[in-house]
Amino acid sequence: MIGIVADDITGANDIGIMYAKAGLSTHVYPMEMWDSQSANEPDVLVLDTHSRLDMQDEAYRKVYEMTCKLREAGCTRFINKTCSVFRGNIGAEFDAMLDALGASFAVVALGFPKNGRTTLGGIHYVHGKKLEESEFRHDPVHPMLQSDLVHILQAQTDRSVGLVTIEKVDAGEEELKADLAAMKQAGFHYVIVDVRDQQSLKTIARAVRHEPIVCGSSALAEELALLEQPHAAAGTAEQALPELGRTAVLCAAGSLMPQSAAQIAYAKQAGVHTLELESMQLFVESEKRAHCKHLVQEASKLLEGGRDVLIHASNSPLHVAATKTRGRELGFSNTEVSRLVSDALSSVVQAVVEATDQRRLLIAGGETSAAVCGKLGVSGHRIWQEIEPGLPSCLSLQTPPRFLVLKSGSFGSESFFIEAINHLKQTSI
């Protein structure tokens, strides 16, 4: 069994689909929901620590404990799945996995070319822009103000960090293996590897396939999965979908990334009925209750009438800035404001589901996805099919079953919501 620790639920799904589409049964669990005594034994087990917004000490504790549990469950190879632009507690979480395993070395590959992430000379790019010049510079919780991955990681760990450049990758599998071995011998604990394109990932995968610990984004896992045997032991296409009721889809978007904003605008233009969770109304309890009650009533009525509906948090730059300002005036940090919005949006989704028995859902944003799954009691799910790179559907392992798409805020094409809605309307595979 391959054991994976991910720092948020959408990232857990993102890496999970890389193995599922290669025919490996892949289950994802929130860390507190996984029970090693009663769980089935998939080929790939992913535990979500939901630690990206935690303090470093708490993130370390979670990853350490979950790595130990994965080892106890019989996992012999491990992946620490992080954000594809290094947001979060990367140093603490990488250190925790090494400490839990008594290890001293891990390969780190952050590039995800299919989603516009590349690394050249240790400098990370997002759709051709340096990380510090991309939309992630303005991330409300983790603004990324540097592009040098070695510097970013070294600032968060006392272990030494090295780099293997694209020239070494281009030289081929054996050359790369020799370079990694030499860097390990020289005392480096983490080695970041450049990624230009999918061919880079193929070469890296062949070179590191027997390494016990790999860290970074999910892209390398796509190539690693293809090296696993048997390739198609338990493909998802062999199973039929359970009864899921009406085919209308409930969508909720809490992400403030520009990709999600563009996807919301596209869906609205395509005819999806949209409702806005107005974040400025969430600071006064009476206003929040009345506003959320109205959203629940409107969304329930639309779904019962067979209409798809999208509820999204306020995402205009002016509205977001005003919300953050108001939050600061009331003593809230940006993280606390983010969680306030996610909690309100997930509560609305929960109330709609309870009122309508809705079972087909699209959720955008890692924080929102985790909150929704928690309130709906989704304590584990099986990765189903890929819709776009790194964006799969999944089927809950609980009763009643729910057919879900949990989307990273920064992933997906402009038309993704429409693609996902059409995918979720399936009645059989």
Q: Give the chain's end-to-end CA distance (angstroms, integer).
A: 27
Q: 3 pairs with which residues across the strands?
A: 45, 78
Strands of the sheet with 123-126, listed across from one edge: 117-120, 123-126, 129-130
Instruction: Give the pLDDT of residue 307.
Output: 97
How many residues are there in the chain? 429
Spell 72-92 as b/e; 16+ CB within 10 A means b: eeebebbbbbbbbbbbbbbbb
Instruction: Give the pLDDT of residue 39.
Output: 55
Query: Using the 8-state DSSP alphabet, how is residue 192 labeled?
Result: E
CATH fold of 2-236 = Rossmann fold (3.40.50)
No. of helices (H) and no. of strands (E), the chain: 14, 18
- SS3 sequence, 200-242? HHHHHHHHHCCCCEEEECCHHHHHHHHCCCCCCCCCHHHCCCC
Instruction: Give the pLDDT of residue 428.
Output: 65
Tens of pLDDT along the chain (429 residues)? 899 999 999 999 999 999 999 999 999 999 988 876 555 678 999 999 999 989 999 999 999 999 999 999 999 999 999 999 999 999 999 999 999 999 999 999 999 999 999 999 999 999 999 999 999 998 878 899 999 999 999 999 999 999 999 999 999 999 999 999 999 999 999 999 999 999 999 999 999 999 999 999 999 999 999 998 555 444 444 567 888 999 999 999 998 888 899 999 999 999 999 999 999 999 999 999 999 999 999 999 999 999 999 999 988 888 888 988 999 999 998 888 888 999 999 999 999 999 999 999 999 998 899 999 999 999 899 999 999 998 999 999 888 999 999 998 888 999 999 999 999 998 765
Instruction: Give the pLDDT of residue 209.
Output: 95
Q: Answer for the pair 338, 279: CB distance below 8 angstroms, yes or no.
A: no
Instruction: Give the pLDDT of residue 362.
Output: 97
CA distance 95 to 84: 18
Instruction: Give the pLDDT of residue 229.
Output: 58
Domain extents in the chain? 2-236, 241-424
Instruction: Give the pLDDT of residue 239.
Output: 64
Instruction: Give the pLDDT of residue 232.
Output: 47
Q: 79 pairs with which residues across the strands?
A: 4, 214
CA distance 59 to 194: 26
Helix (H) or strand (E) holding 395: strand 391-396
Radius of gyration (C-alpha) of the chain in whole angstroms = 21
Q: 375 pairs with which residues across the strands?
A: none
Handedness of CA 7, 12, 14, 15 (dihedral sign): positive
CA distance 240 to 54: 38
Q: Find the farthest-apart pair of alpha carbons in the chain and give their distance in angstroms, rounded.
A: 66
* Sequence-distant (≥ 6) Cβ neighbours of residue 125 within 8 angstroms: 116, 117, 118, 119, 131, 134, 147
* Sequence-distant (≥ 6) Cβ neighbours of residue 9 within 8 angstroms: 28, 30, 48, 50, 366, 369, 370, 373, 406
Architecture of domain 241-424: 3-Layer(aba) Sandwich (3.40)
Write out the DSSP string of 147-166: -BHHHHHHTT-SS-EEEE-H
CA distance 124 to 332: 32
Output the CA–CA distances (angstroms, integers) from residue 355 to 208, 248, 296, 378, in the order listed: 50, 15, 9, 17
Q: 117 pairs with which residues across the strands?
A: 112, 126
- Measured at the CA of 111, the angle between CA 108 and CA 115, to 5 degrees, comes to 145
Q: Answer for the pair 131, 124: CB distance below 8 angstroms, yes or no.
A: yes
Instruction: Give the pLDDT of residue 235.
Output: 46
Residue type for 284, please? V
